[in-house]
Amino acid sequence: MSYMPYISNAFFTLLAAALNGREVPPERIASLSEEDWKKVFYISREQAVTALLYDVVSELPQELLPPRDLLINWFVFAQKTEQSNRKVLSVEQELLQAFQEMDIPLVIYKGHSGVELYPHPLHRTPGDIDHYLPYPEQFDRCIAWARRHASKIETKGLHHQGFHFAGVAVEAHFKLATFQYGKYDLYLAEEVETLLKKRPIDTWPTCSVEGQALQMLPETFNSIAVFGHLLHHFVRLGIGLRQVCDWLMHCKGRKDKIEAAEHKRLADRFAYTHPMYIFAALGVKYLGFEAKDFPFDVTPYLGSPLVEVLKEDILRAGNFGYNAFSGRRFRSRWHRRWHSYRTTLRRIRNIKPIAPEHTRPMQGWGRIKGFLVEEIFKRRVRE
């Protein structure tokens, strides 16, 4: 969806203050009308950062507050986000205990590994729970346990199998990711094998959420993995700011533990360097981060016009690109996929310069091939 620049700028100002624990410059929001505030709230919903914004909106001086009914809605939304997070943490604790009894280490993966880095962790919009289980025997035992205790088991995918436990979606990953290019799958397998040899899982770091210690990927590798996840969605239907913020907060909060040379080597190997710097520049220009918050020099990219292209695409796409489906009805799963394919092709024209290597397989036959590979794999698993 398209918004007037002063409205989107007000939204970014509020989010930057929320992410970095700063006060909101009054002049940036003083001119917002009641309708403008509703649009800012709507953007926050599209980007899955509503509760984060509430932290700073609720602290504004009386004369700058949004309308009372909207502020109440904001408060209710923040409370529901807290409740959802507590539910996820409760389920995570149950899973942790169950798998410890089976001597299976659970490695938290993706955005949940950086929850503790937010000023108010329980106001980060939660998603599903992602675990990484690199050893086949442990993954098989995990799924065997899920078949006995989960309410629903999903069909095994190319890199994970999902299940629902106590009302929360869980993804057990036997691979960190899959790429449209086979060579990157080989690179990832090599890097994971090297990592496991150098650092056994029981030596990996932990993160803490509300006093709950959870094991995570080593900081350098985790930065690459979290960025790879958001880029995977960005080149397809788009990505929202929730996932972008997860990566930015990881870089800032764990910069001292990220090995800069190794980080650059991995980013170069997976062709992440150029898009990664563009996303980092977005963080500096619009989300209150500083160039020193990253394990690389982002300053040459701050003036790139691609930063503006990225910002506008994120606003149009919404969380995981869901805006592409808003208000639409589909006759079948294939009708929905056809719409997804066409949406991806239209976006590629604009975003290709941001991630040229990873948008190439999304064009023409490459995107269709990706759909077919996934569908054939799932059918074979069902059989």
Q: Are strands 107-108 and 160-165 parallel, antiparallel or unpaired?
A: unpaired
Q: How many helices (H) and strands (E) does the chain have?
A: 14, 7
Cβ-based neighbours of 198, under 8 Å, separated by 6 or more: none
Residue-level pLDDT at 209: 73
> Contact 7/40 with Cβ under 8 angstroms?
yes
Q: What is the mean pLDDT of residues 125-136?
A: 92
**Closest C-alpha among 118, 114, 111, 86 to residue 15:** 118
Is residue 367 predicted with pLDDT exceeding 80? no
Residue-level pLDDT at 383: 46
Residue 46 lies in a domain: yes
C-alpha span between 172 and 227 (Å, rounded): 19
């999903």: which residue's tokens? 154
Helix H or strand E segment including 25:
none
Residue 21 lies in a domain: yes
Q: What is the mean pLDDT of residues 7-24?
A: 96
Residue 43 lies in a domain: yes
> Contact 317/237 with Cβ under 8 angstroms?
yes
187-223 tens-digit pLDDT:
999 999 999 999 999 999 998 877 778 899 999 999 9
Share of the chain above pLDDT 90, in %: 71
31-86 tens-digit pLDDT:
999 999 999 999 999 999 999 999 999 999 999 999 999 999 999 999 999 999 99
DSSP 104-123: -PPEE-GGGGGGGGSSSGGG
> Contact 14/43 with Cβ under 8 angstroms?
no
Is residue 338 predicted with pLDDT exceeding 70? no
81-115 tens-digit pLDDT:
999 999 999 999 999 999 999 999 889 988 888 89
> Contact 115/238 with Cβ under 8 angstroms?
no
Edge-to-edge strands, sheet with 206-209: 152-153, 160-165, 168-173, 129-132, 107-108, 212-216, 206-209
**Closest C-alpha among 4, 213, 183, 216 to residue 89:** 213
Q: Could you give the angle at which helices 219-234 and 241-253 cross, rounded to 10 degrees? A: 160
Share of the chain above pLDDT 70, in %: 88
Residue-level pLDDT at 349: 84
Residue type, position 36, single letter: D
Q: Could you give the angle at which helices 273-286 and 306-317 cross, rounded to 10 degrees? A: 80
Residue 141 lies in a domain: no
pLDDT band (50, 70, 90) for residue 374: low
Residue 29 lies in a domain: yes
Residue-level pLDDT at 382: 47
C-alpha span between 82 and 380 (Å, rounded): 40
Residue 45 lies in a domain: yes
Residue-level pLDDT at 80: 97
Residue-level pLDDT at 323: 61
- Would you state the structure tokens that stand for residue 380, as one six-digit string? 């074979």
Is residue 369 predicted with pLDDT exceeding 70? no
- List of long-range contacts for 226-232, beta carbons under 8 Å, 24+ apart: 226/110, 226/111, 226/113, 226/114, 226/250, 227/267, 227/272, 227/276, 227/279, 228/176, 228/177, 228/270, 228/272, 229/110, 229/111, 229/177, 230/279, 231/272, 231/275, 231/355, 231/358, 232/177
Q: What is the mean pLDDT of residues 300-308?
A: 96
Residue 44 lies in a domain: yes
Choice among 92-106, 145-159, 203-217, 333-347 with the minimum mean pLDDT:
333-347
Choice among 26-30, 136-140, 239-243, 362-366 with the minimum mean pLDDT:
362-366
Number of compact structural domains in the chain: 1
DSSP 138-179: HHHHHHHHHHHH-SEEPPP-SSEEEEEETTEEEEEESSS---
- Enter the DSSP assignment of 70: H
Residue 250 lies in a domain: no
């659970």: which residue's tokens? 106
220-233 tens-digit pLDDT:
999 999 999 999 98
Domain region containing 23: 1-66
Residue-level pLDDT at 4: 85
